Chains A and B, each alone.
Chain A
Amino acid sequence: AQKITQTQPGMFVQEKEAVTLDCTYDTSDQSYGLFWYKQPSSGEMIFLIYQGSYDEQNATEGRYSLNFQKARKSANLVISASQLGDSAMYFCAMREPLSNSGGYQKVTFGIGTKLQVIP
């Protein structure tokens, strides 16, 4: 079973509009973390936002917010006021403890969503 599911291979959004990128996850651990990364066409991986499983409030970083619904195991990324520079691949990822690993926490990535912002 996939640990991280991103069901939207591609999304379009009009410039200045808000867009939500979906991410659901699967874990039996109580302590875990969720990330979103952006990968523009230039190829680098850019960290956007992080949400811990015990964080009571949704994480926000500028125009990015993470809509964390623990019971539904979803961690959707919301980008407000989209800009042309937001066009990129977006990856959701989760870290969770790996048993018998001496404390190492495994990170699993989803397959990504390609966002295109239309002028």
Chain B
Amino acid sequence: DAGITQSPRHKVTETGTPVTLRCHQTENHRYMYWYRQDPGHGLRLIHYSYGVKDTDKGEVSDGYSVSRSKTEDFLLTLESATSSQTSVYFCAISEASSYNEQFFGPGTRLTVL
């Protein structure tokens, strides 16, 4: 199994509070991704990174920011959480953009009250 961990695994927070989710990999893969999973929508890309300090927006990036200061860590921040951001968040990695497989972390369940 690819070495990907996410922390925290579960979090409950209140509307308006900042939240940071962490993704850590031990595979030294270049590409890292943040997805959210919601019923009826599958997985949707929030942001991705193609190297240290190199990030770009995905299809549902509003309300989220990311940072990647080290190859192994990719942080997702909700500056001011809203109830619509209640979701399961998955981190994924791949060695190259033209990959044949994308490895996923275990997911973080976030509830915003």
Contact = CB atoms under 8 A, between A and B. Distances in A.
A31 to B, nearest CB: 8
A110 B101 contact: no
B52 interface: no
B56 A45 contact: no
A105 B97 contact: yes
Interface in B20-63: 33, 35, 40-45, 48, 50, 56
Interface string A48-61: 00101000000000
Contacts of B106: 43-44
Interface string B71-103: 000000000000000001010100001111111
Interface residues of A, number: 24
A49 to B, nearest CB: 10
A107 B102 contact: yes
Given A35-B102, A43-B88, A50-B100, A107 B45 contact: yes
Nearest to A91: B42
Which residue, of A45, A95, A106, A110, has the highest number of chain B Cβ atoms within 10 A?
A45
B58 to A, nearest CB: 8
Interface in A1-35: 4, 33, 35
A91 B40 CA distance: 12
24 contacts: A33-B100, A35-B102, A43-B106, A44-B104, A44-B106, A45-B107, A47-B103, A47-B104, A50-B100, A52-B100, A91-B43, A95-B98, A95-B99, A102-B50, A103-B98, A104-B97, A105-B97, A105-B98, A106-B45, A107-B102, A109-B35, A109-B42, A109-B43, A111-B41
